[in-house]
Amino acid sequence: MIAGEVDPTCNPVHFVTQDSCKPRSVYRGEQGDANTIFQEPVPTIAEHDCSSFDIVKATQYGSLVRCRELVEAGYDVNQRDSENVTLLHWAAINNRRDIIRYYISKGAVVDAVGGELLATPLHWATRQGHLGSVTLLMQHGADPSLRDGEGCSCIHLAAQFGHTAIVAYFVAKGVNVNMQDRNGMTPLMWSAYKVTSLDPTRLLLTFGACTSTQDKLHGNTALHWAILAQNHTAVSTLVKHGASLDIVNMQGESPFSMLQANKSANWVSKKVSEKIQEHSSTRRNSCYRLTRDKRLRFWCMVSTPFFAFYGIGIILQSELNYLMKLGLLMLGYISLYFGGRVLFDDRLMNLLPMSIYLATKFWMYVTWFVWIAPRVDIWVTVSFVACSLILCYNFVRSWRGDPGVLTSTQEEKYRTIIELAERGGFEPQGFCSSCLVRRPVRSKHCSVCNRCIARFDHHCPWVGNCVGAKNHRYFIGFLIMLLFMCLFLFYGCTEFWHVACPSNSTGFWERLGVIGRCEAWVAWVAANALLHAAWVATLFACQMYQIMCLGMTTNERMNSGRYKHFHTTGRMGVTELRSPFHRGFCQNLVDFAQFRCFGLLKPDDTDWMTRYDIKQPVEQVPLLSAKENYQYV
Quick one: CA torsion of 520, 524, 530, 535, rounded to 10 degrees?
170
Residues 381, 382, 387, 389, Cα dihedral to 10°: 110
CB atoms within 10 A of CB 120: 27
Calpha distance 280→341 (Å, rounded):
17
Contacts of 533 (CB under 8 A, 6+ apart): 483, 486, 487, 490
Instruction: Give CA–CA dist 590/114, Å, rounded.
Output: 64
* C-alpha angle 476-480-482 in degrees, rounded to nearest 5: 110
179 phi-psi bin (left φ>0, alpha ψ -120 to 50, beta other): beta
Tell me which residue of 573, 618, 624, 387 sits closest to 483, measured CA to CA: 387
- DSSP letter string, 267-317: TS-HHHHHHHHHHHHHHH-HHHHHHT-HHHHHHHHHHHHHHHHHHHHHHHH
50, 152, 300, 460: the catalytic one is: 460
Q: Which residues contact 110 (CB under 8 A, 6 or more apart)?
A: 88, 104, 120, 121, 122, 137, 140, 141, 142
Is 460 designated active site?
yes
Give the torsion sign (CA, 523, 524, 530, 533).
negative
Give the single-character DSSP code of 114.
B
Q: Are 138 and 126 in contact (CB under 8 A)?
A: no
3-state class (DSSP) for residue 550: helix
Residues annotated as part of the active site: 460
